Structure 1
């Protein structure tokens, strides 16, 4: 058996295990969670001699019903970063990166000689498990039942519950990518089943707002081209008059609510980067379906204005009839810059005369758009947020994408996972109301010119750093989650835990607790770079919550 040796090591969820790199991380043998958290750790493994196939994973614990083991798969990155990354990255070279969380099949796993791989173990507590210490034993066994390696992890469960998520969180959901990737017709029954599966996964990871394509979203589309039609509103045109059916919108809303979605952001009513044109809109006219608006339609022209003048009152009736007044958000145009100020201004004024009672949100980074009253709820990127914070913009959101590569949080393949997770503490300190990202499942090349295989191309056709365009991979019947998705959800749980502590000791004390020992106050660009800081701070947070709530109960009982 000397040549059949598996080396194993328990490690935390913030370590990325590369097959071509030695694992120097200190073993991580214990952790804690509140009683309705999702908690993850890893068991890294490698063969010390020859390759071993068909290894089974056996787990022994009282938490078995709540436990989900998966293999951390490897995917290629040809563009891990742009040409000038900052210093806080894992590597800048192309190669295989750990990201998809793959199911463990009947064939088990393979231990490669001198290549570290890892098993990702997720515990979905959901408030069902008994508080206290819970050992978790993970064994690697061969086909004969012989144990090749063993690790034990100890999870302490605190009885307190995380509060419900307050943060509004959207990752743009691309329904056309689902249809093309799975080769099904848009809004066929097969498509609706896929939508439900992907929405369910989103809802379980703290995504509580969904991009809703009343009309095909005018996003990431080359000028003059178009993305597949994914229009929920049926439009009928008779002369200059329009009528609208919201049956598919109804199905969409009911499905999403059932899967944990609380908010609906209606896709943009004007094209990206300037609001100069109308989105693609399909209507039935004289019994024939045809495109009535698109790139050729002047956004400020009378024809589109007349359409919107008829559409918005009907949409408003629908919203009120379904009790969605507190749940809907509108977009004008995505990511305008100062050169688009005039066209965006016209589009904003047009929209706001009809939807003034609802929030209008747009990703933009120049404070002038807000200062001039052109957008009620701006969403600046996390590297342009300071002027908005200094001016105390209410209900402030933030976002990041491919351009936020220096000194701020993001979730690229080559970023350490701590740089992904730190955002939970930042969102808390600055009272951020919402977080937006454009890529839940964008499986196209840049500008949607062609579809990609996300397991082979992870950078949108060599356009965006790997990790920007999507959080999930297409499995046979539904989504395959990613390391990045799980770590971001850990950040959202950190945020909720801080809010729980605030309910007992107040906001100022929580911020003091966060910044204790830091050389500089926490900002979106100044924050600890070490994995250990987040892990230690979260353990301290859990213990502090336990003590404070016990003290509160004791005081109330006297």
Structure 2
């Protein structure tokens, strides 16, 4: 009898701890949010682990629903997050899946292979999901904290509702969050994810594919959406094209400049705290093939002669009788523009109080073969925008010496030429790094097919190698129907996830599990800086245990959580 009672007690306990209801309609598993849950995955362990955060961080919880029967119209909400003396609020969103039609090469040794070709990424808070018998569906729970959140252990509960046949059902799952007496301040890491919101095509995807007129009330409303989501995810550098947002008049070689639209965009991002630096968009573009010289973008009167010139990539090809063309930097028309525009821009930035925040791009990814044209344009910048730092992503190093103030090498170039960049730092130059379509192989990146911890590790790399900023080109370079399109763009030339890390809805933006993880990595950087202030040797030990080299990392999620816990406990002393 005692043995039978023990078995029954054990079975009942397993049911409760396993998180599913007595009638076995669903299993509810807590799964680490760094774990990507594939649709074909069948086996899970319910790891009821405490989520550990500093004040100012967002606690992320991932709950996996496995249907033992078909369930329709599933919705979820956080019904309580409370400690003995305080309460928090939380939000939920079902994790959507995107199709990856082509895998990238050369692959990482840690690449995730999906038999279905579908990978989790967007977080969709406003959708009801249905699952078939045996299907799994992850739910993302976000609980933000603030600098004033009371430290302590919080118990939370999420409620999931759904329909089985004609019957409405309800299930609940507990989770725990420990908030440490450690407080994040303004992020010291500079982060830019380039936004394509200047494109009417991009904005149309937020408006049921209907055109959004530039600078209309709806245009600015959609820009505000971008500013909000970027600020919430620690994006504190914003690219604004000064040439594109300026309104010009031109008469007998003389220009006037109206910077009102530039100011409005900068003001939107400044208001929400996403403008630690203003990243002046590129002034020059390739004149042809990849290694061809850079030409300067020049506004000129729209006439038969200027229509024959090479057009710039400005979405507004012609505005107010002005056509935007590309010209060699030694063309007198280019010189005339630069010598008027750059001093006027400097004077305006000074009046607005933004000059010390402003950086200027010249052209993207100069190579050794077009470096000379880049250097010539850089000389104009330094002459007519004195005190403004030149920043650019680079694919080469030594050929650009003296032309750049903020160097942003791609991660593998940073690795290969690390000693060169260390010398630049000693000269007072800023060093960032970037990732994009590359590097590939075993380097960390934010590709959809990579484990989430590698997205997070990008900013541990920032810390370990003293790179004070990070750049990526693809916040929102969407295709039509991005949520349903093949995520591997351009016949696989762009690895899945390279072109965007957020998704479009109708006049709304959806975050992704990668964007949430990127934010957490940025917060890790600040925590490492806080540890360093107390004990540099301790900080080095923490980062060295995770980042073994530029392209070699400890991939254990459990070990990473152990190190994070030790960091928070050390900072709590």
Name the TM-score, length of structure 1 as normaliser: 0.86
What is the CA–CA distance in structure 2 between the aligned matches of 1:531 and 1:25, rounded to whole Å?
14
Match of 1:59 among 79, 87, 91: 79
Q: 1:421 to 1:20 in 2, by over 3 A?
A: same
What is the CA–CA distance in structure 1 between the aligned matches of 2:388 and 2:70, rounded to whole Å?
63
1:238-259 per-position Cα deviation (integer Å, ceiling 9, x unaligned): 0211111111112112111002
Q: Which residue of 2 aligns with 1:100?
A: 122
Q: 1:422 to 1:356 in 2, by over 3 A?
A: same
Q: 1:340 to 1:27 in 2, by over 3 A?
A: same
Q: Which residue of 2 aligns with 1:213?
A: 241
| Offset, 1:174 | 1.2
> Structure 2 matches for 1:140-155, cutoff 5 A?
140-142=160-162, 149-155=171-177
Q: 1:396 to 1:288 in 2, by over 3 A?
A: closer
Q: Between Structure 1 and Structure 2, which shows a larger proportion of strand residues?
A: 2
Q: Which residue of 2 aligns with 1:6?
A: 26
Match of 1:441 among 469, 476, 484: 476
> Structure 2 matches for 1:379-458, cutoff 5 A?
379-391=408-420, 392=422, 393-394=424-425, 395-444=430-479, 453-458=482-487
Q: 1:16 to 1:33 in 2, by over 3 A?
A: same
Select between 49-58 and 141-150 the one with higher mean Cα deviation: 141-150
1:181-240 per-position Cα deviation (integer Å, ceiling 9, x unaligned): 23210111100000011111101101001110223xxxxxxxxxxxxxxx2100111021
What is the CA–CA distance in structure 2 between the aligned matches of 1:260 and 1:354, rounded to whole Å?
29
What is the CA–CA distance in structure 1 between the aligned matches of 2:398 and 2:342, rounded to whole Å?
27
1:256 aligns with 2:269: yes
Q: Which residue of 2 aligns with 1:218?
A: none
What is the CA–CA distance in structure 2 between the aligned matches of 1:335 and 1:238, rounded to whole Å?
35
> Structure 2 matches for 1:217-228, cutoff 5 A?
none
CA contact (8 A) 1:60 1:138 kept: yes
1:304-333 per-position Cα deviation (integer Å, ceiling 9, x unaligned): 111111101100100111111211000111
Q: Which residue of 2 aligns with 1:515?
A: 544
Q: 1:288 to 1:387 in 2, by over 3 A?
A: closer
Q: Which residue of 2 aligns with 1:228?
A: none
Please state whether the residue corresponding to 1:498 is helix, strand or coil: helix
Match of 1:358 among 369, 388, 393: 388
- Which ranges in structure 1 are unaligned for 5 or more consecutive residues? 216-230, 445-450, 548-558
| Offset, 1:146 | 7.1
| Offset, 1:140 | 2.8
1:541 aligns with 2:573: no
CA contact (8 A) 2:191 2:234 kept: yes
Q: Which residue of 2 aligns with 1:244?
A: 257
What is the CA–CA distance in structure 1 between the aligned matches of 2:67 and 2:385, rounded to whole Å?
62
| Residues matched between the structures, number | 517
1:115-161 per-position Cα deviation (integer Å, ceiling 9, x unaligned): 21111001110134321111112233446997654432211111220
Please state whether the residue corresponding to 2:411 is helix, strand or coil: coil
| Offset, 1:26 | 6.0
Q: Which residue of 1 aligns with 2:325?
A: 294
- Which ranges in structure 2 are unaligned for 5 or more consecutive residues? 1-20, 304-317
Q: Which residue of 2 aligns with 1:157?
A: 179
CA contact (8 A) 1:412 1:466 kept: yes
- For the aligned residue pairs, the C-alpha RMSD in angstroms reads 2.6
Q: Which residue of 1 aligns with 2:3?
A: none
